[in-house]
Amino acid sequence: MEVKPFEFTHLRENGSLHMVDVGQKGFTERVARAKAEVVFPEEIFPKIMDKDVPKGDFLACAQVAGILAAKKTSELIPLCHPLPISHIDISFQFIPERSLLEITAEVKTTAQTGVEMEALTAVSISALTIYDMCKSLHKGIKIENIRLVYKRGGKSGEVILE
């Protein structure tokens, strides 16, 4: 089996950047799921779980922020294509034994390119919003483990990473 050299898809031969032309690709349903973790100091985690935060409903605010972020990904990441997003879901799960809140974003579209960056942007901005809403309780809050966990659609088909 011949191994092809790695090609940089966003670079021209002269080294300049360009947006990849997806015009010849077929429209397929694309789904991506990403996760992030917000780790809280143990002494404030009970307040977080009780949603006892001076700035108010941090989960609702983070959910809306994540949705908006997914919709604006192509404005934030220079070479991302604007996509017609058909669905965005942002969910949260408290994991008390680790003093953390796990954020999951699932994004769907029917388009010529995937929504991995939209899902990753959604969890990132949700996590930053939670930090902003909770930082008055403690400055030691950490955002960790931002990652793609699932994608489906396009040439690579289904990819399960977690």
Q: What is the mean pLDDT of residues 17-43?
A: 83
Selected residue with higher pLDDT from 81 and 134: 134
pTM equals 0.86
The residues spanned by each domain of the chain are: 28-153
Which residues does the annotation mark as catalytic? 132
Is the domain spanning 28-153 CATH 3.30.110.30? The answer is no
The predicted structure's pLDDT at residue 3: 47
pLDDT at residue 38 greater than cutoff 80: yes
pLDDT digits (tens, 9 = 90+) for 79-112: 888 999 999 999 999 999 999 999 999 999 998 8
The predicted structure's pLDDT at residue 155: 81
For residue 110, the one-letter residue type is T
Query: Tokens 């949260």 belong to which residue?
Result: 92
Contact 100, 55 (CB under 8 A): no
pLDDT digits (tens, 9 = 90+) for 72-82: 999 999 888 89
For a pLDDT cut of 70, what percent of the chain falls above it? 85
In 3D, which of 136, 133, 140 has the Cα closest to residue 56? Answer: 133
For a pLDDT cut of 90, what percent of the chain falls above it? 70
Q: What is the mean pLDDT of residues 23-43?
A: 89
Q: How far is CA 79 from CA 18, 28, 108, 115, in A?
A: 7, 20, 19, 13
pLDDT digits (tens, 9 = 90+) for 49-62: 999 898 999 999 99
Selected residue with higher pLDDT from 156 and 59: 59
pLDDT at residue 149 greater than cutoff 60: yes
Structure confidence at residue 21 as a pLDDT band (50, 70, 90): low
Pairwise CA distance, residues 55 & 74, whole Å: 30
